[in-house]
Amino acid sequence: MPAIEVSNLTKAFRTYRKQPGFSGAVKGLFRRQYEQTVAVKDVSFSVEPGELVGFLGPNGAGKTTTLKMLAGLLYPTSGTAHVLGYVPWERDDGYRRQFALLLGQKNQLWWDLPARESLDLNAKIYGIPPATLERTIAEMGELLGVRDKLNVSVRELSLGERTKMELIASLLHQPKILFLDEPTIGLDVVSQKIVREFLRAHNAKQKTTILLTSHYMADIQELCDRVIIIDHGTIFFDGRLNEILDRFADSKLITIQCEGTASFSAQNLAKYGEIVAQNPGSIQLKVKRDRVIPVCKALLDELPISDIDIQEVPIEEVIRRIFAR
């Protein structure tokens, strides 16, 4: 049975459109104009227990709205969803004890108190035994490198430290489902790496089902085998990450290095593909997939090549092109 099952989920918002100026405000008192914005439209997918799935899309695509519906914070306009067998927006107590939602730009910890006190409060709410609480905080604090910051006021923590504390608070009750919305936003590369390694280890050990949104492709590449791409509120792609390259990347990158100080004629090499980078003794070309082998043969015949390397186009560029479309 899938941990998450979504069928034709739709969410539309009714918003008031105010006319400009004072006169517009007065008119709005008597006759208001409304417009409907569809944030999510007929979204359907399922996630198996223990899966770690990337949920991608440009700003305004409907990712956060979908997560909020699955967390029971929003009622859908139409459609159905079942998470761990529960209907999220019915807000059953049994469901609320089995999931966690971490929004990268929202705080759940008390700003003026040490993180440890917020964690103690969460433990009381979820009925976590003291021994289990101590062990969990010690393990997670050690893995995230914030064990010595537990008694520091949250307002005095750095963004990275605060994010790690928020993660501990979300996982304190060992939820079976974890919704993560931009968990590494604004973090430096070191903190991002620590958070990614922690999530990977936690998923492997606890078999927690994780639905992750992120604009950092490093998060997705290192954590997720499967991705769901949503755009304008609808599912655009649902499959393995490597399938994106097969379906949407029609080119490969060929990097050649020549012996000695051989010079390149950009005009001559441009006939083989797009010149991406050029340095003394090396050049990189973007070549259509079906021309890679013929181009490599031609280059080997034409130039004194000492090394040749063929790579896929970076996944970030492919995703960027998909969004641009």
Domain end position, chosen among 225, 245, 265: 245
Check whether residue 166 and residue 294 sit in a common domain.
Answer: no
Please give the pLDDT value at position 68.
92
The predicted structure's pLDDT at residue 245: 77
| Residues 168, 53 share a domain | yes
Answer yes or no: do 152 and 288 share one domain: no
In the listed set 245, 278, 302, which residue is the last one of a domain according to the structure? Answer: 245
Same domain, 165 and 206: yes
- Distance CA(33)–CA(27), nearest Å, equals 10
- DSSP 3-state assignment of 306? strand
Same domain, 56 and 111: yes
Q: What are the C-alpha distances in Å from 196 to residues 51, 224, 265?
A: 15, 11, 44
Question: What is residue 53's predicted lDDT score, i.e. its pLDDT?
Answer: 94
Query: 251 to each of 129, 229, 284, 298, how far by Cα in Å?
Result: 56, 21, 13, 17
Indicate if 66 and 185 belong to the same structural domain.
yes
Please give the Cα distance from 215 to 181 (Å, whole number).
10
Residue ending a domain, among 196, 212, 245, is 245
Shared domain for 239 and 276, answered yes or no, is no
Q: Looking at the structure, do residues 192 and 164 belong to the same domain, yes or no?
A: yes
CB-count exposure of residue 276 (10 Å: 0-12, 13-18, 19+): middle
63 and 133 share one domain: yes
> Does 12 share its domain with 133?
yes
* Structural domain that includes position 224: 4-245
CB 307 within 8 A of CB 284: no
> 309 and 234, same structural domain?
no
Same domain, 304 and 188: no
* Residue 109 tokens, joined: 């910890």
Split into its structural domains, the chain has a count of: 2
pLDDT tens string, the chain, 325 residues long: the values are 899 999 999 999 887 677 777 776 777 677 777 778 888 999 999 999 999 999 988 888 888 899 999 999 999 999 999 999 999 999 999 999 999 999 877 778 888 899 999 999 989 988 999 999 999 999 999 999 898 999 999 899 888 889 899 999 999 999 999 999 888 888 888 888 999 999 999 999 999 999 999 888 888 888 998 999 988 888 988 999 888 877 777 888 888 888 764 556 666 777 888 888 888 778 888 888 888 898 888 888 888 888 888 888 877 778 777 777 6
**pLDDT score for 186:** 80
> What DSSP element (H or E) covers 132?
helix 130-144
User: What's 160's domain CATH number?
Assistant: 3.40.50.300
Q: What is the CATH number of the domain that holds 287?
A: 3.30.70.980
Residue 249, phi then psi, degrees to nearest 5:
-105, 105
Q: Residue 94, class by beta-carbon neighbours within 10 Å (0-12 exposed, 13-18 middle, 19+ buried)? A: exposed
CB atoms under 10 Å from CB of 250, counted, come to 13
Amino acid present at 188: D
